Amino acid sequence: MKIAVNTRLLLPGKLEGIGWFTFETLRRIVEEHPEHTFYFIFDRPFSEEVVFSENVIPLVLKPATRHPVLWYIWFEFRLPALLKKLDVDLFLSTDGFLSLRSGIPSCLVMHDINFEHRPKDLPFLSRKYYRYFYPKYAQKATRLATVSEYSRRDIINSYNINEQKIDLVYNGASHNFFPVDQLRQEKIRGAYTENDPYFVFVGSLHPRKNITNLLKAFELFRDEYRSPFKLVIVGKKFFLTKAMEDQLEEMKHKDDVVFTGRLSPDDLNEVMAAAWALTFVPYFEGFGIPLVEAMNCEIPILASNVTSLPEIAGDAAIYAEPESPGAIRDGMIRIVKEEGLRDNLIEKGKERRGLYSWDNTASELWKTIEKVLSGHAEILPQ
């Protein structure tokens, strides 16, 4: 069989959540299925390190998709012509986008539909594009997969999708994430926080990640807990950040906030593993890979009590209302002061992390692909 894959986001050094999903699942799938030929379709020059095996044929299809107008040209004109020319048996897209003009059977991974609930977090044209095309993509796909039961129900209910058409394929976390010993933790803290203990946030600095309220909560925490403590924020700025920047400027304890920018996987593991706790309190999340990374690094978790996060973290986290800086502050105080809580959360995380691995993710995604390849993707009437 010939399988074409949308690999626009397979950009080493720039991988975010969907990029990591694409990297980790495709690497396993193509190596485990040498009987199939995979066409990796990029929209710009690619790195040879993502041509994972001999059964992968990389192709560059221009233009680079940096704007909604270019998305439309690429998916509705350039891509259908290429798929027809290649005469593929299936098109796999792991970033939620599809071609409405192609008649090729398709497997679509739709991670979440946050823009339906928080449209103003995105630029005007982007949110218009997503809200117009995603419902059509969901209907068009031969079969869908998503990364949490929360997202699965959200897509089913929002887009009127038959629940038999969409599979649950949990994310995983890289083997690069593991605990480090006490001596190494001290060296890491010396490099980033002048030896002070710290909370860590990991993710793009997007409005829905709720950085502004996290900063407000940290300011309240530092007002109440006078011993030195820092907040380390790891991630690349993305879209609207003025409210976050204004909040930072107003803070008395702004010098205790450390921005690292994007880190390599090895550096990220160290910063995560040396943290006192992960503080991950977004307004909306389809899965939340940093939760599993924290479990693997054996640090406790403070998470939002909304969307998919309680499903993923379970009893390995304590929770706070993301709209309430005071509630987030209270969670920070608990993790620092409450006897036995930190150790208990770490133990719960060690028990729970086995639920999430990229091996399982790739295996479950391949099952979805096989349903399409075998012609057994028919949906029974509800």
User: Which band of pLDDT confidence, cut at 50, 70 and 90, is reported for residue 78?
Assistant: very high
* pLDDT beyond 70 at 40: yes
What is the pLDDT at residue 176?
85
Written as six digits, the tokens of 332 are 């920070």
Interval 252-307: pLDDT, tens:
999 999 999 989 889 999 999 999 999 999 999 999 999 999 999 999 999 999 99
Q: Are residues 92 and 161 in the same domain?
A: yes
Please give the average per-residue pLDDT across 76-99, as a whole number.
97
User: Does 32 fall in a domain?
Assistant: yes
* pLDDT beyond 70 at 374: yes
Q: Are residues 106 and 239 in the same domain?
A: no
What is the pLDDT at residue 377?
53
User: Does 121 fall in a domain?
Assistant: yes
Q: Are residues 221 and 83 in the same domain?
A: no
User: Which band of pLDDT confidence, cut at 50, 70 and 90, is reported for residue 16?
Assistant: confident
User: Does 177 fall in a domain?
Assistant: no
Q: For the chain, what is the domain count?
A: 2
CA gap 188, 140 in Å, rounded = 49
User: Which band of pLDDT confidence, cut at 50, 70 and 90, is reported for residue 227?
Assistant: confident
DSSP string, 195-217: T--EEEEES-B-GGG-HHHHHHH
Interval 22-38: pLDDT, tens:
999 999 999 999 999 99
Q: Are residues 139 and 20 in the same domain?
A: yes
User: Does 379 fall in a domain?
Assistant: no
What is the pLDDT at residue 381?
43
Interval 313-349: pLDDT, tens:
999 999 999 999 999 999 999 999 999 999 999 999 9
Q: Are residues 129 and 212 in the same domain?
A: no
Q: Which amino acid is at 2?
A: K
Q: Which amino acid is at 279?
A: T
Q: Give me the phi and psi of 257, to 5 degrees please.
A: -105, 125
User: Does 380 fall in a domain?
Assistant: no
Q: Are residues 121 and 76 in the same domain?
A: yes
Tokens 């066409």 label which residue?
39
Q: Are residues 75 and 100 in the same domain?
A: yes
Q: Are residues 210 and 291 in the same domain?
A: yes
CA gap 318, 20 in Å, rounded = 26
CA gap 211, 113 in Å, rounded = 20
Written as six digits, the tokens of 320 are 């706070």
Please give the average per-residue pLDDT across 194-200, as a whole number.
97
* pLDDT beyond 70 at 380: no
User: Does 381 fall in a domain?
Assistant: no
User: Which band of pLDDT confidence, cut at 50, 70 and 90, is reported for residue 382?
Assistant: very low
Q: Are residues 110 and 53 in the same domain?
A: yes
For position 341, which CATH number holds? 3.40.50.2000
Nearest 10 degrees: Cα torsion 154, 235, 171, 329: -70
Q: Are residues 158 and 189 in the same domain?
A: no
User: Which band of pLDDT confidence, cut at 50, 70 and 90, is reported for residue 13?
Assistant: confident
User: Does 231 fall in a domain?
Assistant: yes
Q: Are residues 193 and 152 in the same domain?
A: no
pLDDT above 70 covers a percentage of the chain that reads: 97
User: Which band of pLDDT confidence, cut at 50, 70 and 90, is reported for residue 244?
Assistant: confident
Q: Are residues 362 and 349 in the same domain?
A: no
What is the pLDDT at residue 204?
86
Please give the average per-residue pLDDT across 104-124, as a whole number.
95
CA gap 223, 133 in Å, rounded = 47
Please give the average per-residue pLDDT across 62-72, as a whole number.
95
SS3 assignment, position 264: coil
What is the pLDDT at residue 242?
79
- Give Cβ neighbours of residue 250 (< 8 Å, ≥ 6 apart): none
Q: Which domain holds residue 317?
A: 182-355
Helices (H) and strands (E) in the chain, counts: 15, 13
Please give the average per-residue pLDDT across 108-127, as a whole number.
95
Element (H, E) at 244: helix 242-250
* pLDDT beyond 70 at 209: yes
Going by DSSP bridges, is the β-strand pair 257-261/230-234 parallel, antiparallel, or unpaired? parallel
User: Does 288 fall in a domain?
Assistant: yes
